[in-house]
Amino acid sequence: MNDRVDLSKEIIFSSSDKSLSNQINKAEKEGKIKKIAPRIYTTNLRDSERYIFKRNFFEILKWRFPNAVISHRSASDCSRSGGN
């Protein structure tokens, strides 16, 4: 298991690993990351939380629902397919 928080990622998820949790808390206190939702942090301190969520929507879903399956191609685009 990686024992360091990857600050190069835009989204960081909390961990039950005590060492990683401590690193996340330290990074937040130092202003390197900010909490944008329960157990979700970002290194992007410039953009709005709305745009950060939008860009990382499927990564967040994958983390929150690890065994879920998207059943339609248009779901990944968050839009309707070309039909009516």
What is the model's pLDDT at position 70? 72
DSSP alpha helices (H): ranges in the chain? Answer: 18-29, 49-55, 57-64
User: Predicted confidence band at 68 (pLDDT cuts at 50, 70, 90)?
Assistant: confident
Predicted model pTM: 0.79
18-22, 32-36, 74-78: segment of lowest average pLDDT: 74-78
Residues 60-74 as b/e (b if ≥16 CB within 10 A, e otherwise) read: beeeeeeeeeeeeee
Q: What is the mean pLDDT of the chain?
A: 87
